[in-house]
Amino acid sequence: MTTTMDQRTGEVTYLEAISQALDEEMTRDERVFLMGEDIGTYGGAFKITEGFLQKYGEWRVLDTPLAESGFVGAAIGAAMMGLRPVVEMQFADFISCAFDQITEVAAKNHYRWGAAVPLVIRAPFGGGVHGGPFHSECPEGWFFHSPGLKLVAPSTPYDAKGLLKAAIRDPNPVIYFEHKFLYRRIKAVLPQEDYIVPIGKADVKRTGTDISVVTYGAMVHLALEAAQVLAQEGIDIEVVDLRTLIPLDKETIYASVRKTSKAIMLHEDNKTGGIGAEIAALLAEECFDCLDGPIVRIAAPDTPVPFSTPLEEFFLPKTSDIVSAARKLAAY
């Protein structure tokens, strides 16, 4: 199994945290099983399920034909019959091929005729990995606008493990956005005992008094970096990590902005129609009185993710973008 931790520090990577969650849930609950392309023999394109086939056998770790709509549909059927499928998109980008099954079948079954669909779709997403337009996408914005789905996007190994366990135990279809850039770049010591991170709870990753930066996924780390820079200038940033995108933890967001009176929305997804728009709209409606400045959005521009390094670097939000936006907003 890849779920080996650093012997010296006891730390595991974000990637290993995901493996651990899958492994523990499969051991805990024999209804949990996995489907996807190359997840068995090969252990998955990112090796998250390495060793799982040997441990759980080929009927709990199914290598599927190359057919995202087909295997997501199959997962829906298995879920309705009482199993707990976790399917892997090889890259989140290919989720477009299963879009119809996710939005029209999985998302609507319970509302329409009362059938729960306890399904988890793992979607390795995001850029910064030289993947180009089809291996770097952030598709969460589409599903954010599809009632009936829950969406989570962890930023740390702790959250990655806890949210995946919570997703597997949830009776609804959950899309689990795992950021590829973080896989091997961040580590943490995780609790020995079983834990979950509840779906629907944001987490203040840094408290501050001047500006709230509301974000999720890999961008949390940029926000924290920017906060360090800004702290030296006396600007005290609060970093709200949404963790769950649907259902949104409005209370935590509102509480933060009521305190700071200023807000920056930050995401790697395209700007127009992104999740930042919704949160800005909520604040402009529900917290209008407490706002002391415009609601600022920092996001990728409205283009596909370009391949070449200078283009991708230009495309992705940067720490410096946050720093300069925060300076302007602080001075407002």
Q: Which of 15, 18, 72, 92 binds other proteins (CB under 8 A)?
A: 72
The residue (of 44 and 208) whose beta carbon lies closer to other proteins is 44
Q: Angle of helix 14-28 relative to helix 157-169, nearest 10 degrees?
A: 30
Q: Does the protein bind ligand TPP through residue 97 (CB under 6 A)?
A: yes
Smallest gap from Cβ 154 to a second copy, in A, equals: 20
Q: Does the protein bind other proteins through residue 311 (CB under 8 A)?
A: yes
Q: Does the protein bind a second copy through residue 195 (CB under 8 A)?
A: no
**Which residue's entry shows tokens 């759980």?**
56
Judged by CB under 8 A, the chain residues 115 through 134 that form the site for a second copy are 133-134
Give the separation between CA 111 and CA 115, rounded to whole angstroms.
Answer: 8
Q: Does the protein bind a second copy through residue 294 (CB under 8 A)?
A: yes
Smallest gap from Cβ 38 to ligand TPP, in A, equals: 6
In angstroms, the Cα distances linking 246 to 112, 139, 200, 202 are 20, 14, 7, 11
Give the separation between CA 278 and CA 11, rounded to whole angstroms.
Answer: 36
Smallest gap from Cβ 29 to other proteins, in A, equals: 11
**Catalytic site positions:** 135
Judged by CB under 8 A, the chain residues 21 through 40 that form the site for other proteins are 31, 33, 37-38
Judged by CB under 8 A, the chain residues 93 through 122 that form the site for other proteins are 93-94, 96-97, 100-101, 104-105, 108-118
Q: Does the protein bind ligand TPP through residue 137 (CB under 6 A)?
A: no
Helices (H), the chain: 14-28, 52-56, 68-80, 99-100, 109-113, 140-144, 157-169, 219-231, 250-260, 275-286, 309-315, 319-330
With beta carbons less than 8 A apart as the criterion, state whether 66 and 98 touch.
no
Give the separation between CA 180 and CA 220, rounded to whole angstroms.
Answer: 14
The residue (of 158 and 315) whose beta carbon lies closer to a second copy is 315
Handedness of CA 309, 312, 313, 314 (dihedral sign): positive
The residue (of 94 and 143) whose beta carbon lies closer to ligand TPP is 94
Residue facing ligand TPP at closest CB distance: 94
Q: Does the protein bind ligand TPP through residue 90 (CB under 6 A)?
A: yes
Handedness of CA 255, 259, 262, 268 (dihedral sign): negative
Judged by CB under 8 A, the chain residues 266 through 295 that form the site for other proteins are none
Q: Which helix (H) or strand (E) holds 62?
A: strand 61-63
Smallest gap from Cβ 89 to ligand TPP, in A, equals: 8
Give the separation between CA 239 and CA 264, rounded to whole angstroms.
Answer: 10
Give the separation between CA 160 and CA 153, rounded to whole angstroms.
Answer: 8
With beta carbons less than 8 A apart as the criterion, state whether 33 and 63 touch.
no
Q: Does the protein bind ligand TPP through residue 66 (CB under 6 A)?
A: yes
Q: Does the protein bind other proteins through residue 139 (CB under 8 A)?
A: no
Q: Does the protein bind ligand TPP through residue 330 (CB under 6 A)?
A: no
Give the separation between CA 227 and CA 325, rounded to whole angstroms.
Answer: 12
Judged by CB under 8 A, the chain residues 248 through 287 that form the site for a second copy are 248, 265, 269-270, 272-278, 280-281, 283-286
Q: Which of 33, 94, 125, 177 binds ligand TPP (CB under 6 A)?
A: 94
Smallest gap from Cβ 7 to other proteins, in A, equals: 25
Give the separation between CA 313 and CA 128, rounded to whole angstroms.
Answer: 8
Give the separation between CA 56 and CA 17, rounded to whole angstroms.
Answer: 19
267 Cα distance to chain centroid: 11
With beta carbons less than 8 A apart as the criterion, state whether 167 and 174 touch.
yes
Residues in touch with a second copy (CB under 8 A): 93, 96-97, 99-100, 103-104, 107-108, 111-112, 133-134, 141-142, 144-148, 246, 248, 265, 269-270, 272-278, 280-281, 283-286, 288-289, 291, 293-297, 302-304
For ligand TPP, the binding residues (CB under 6 A) are 37, 66, 68, 90, 94, 97
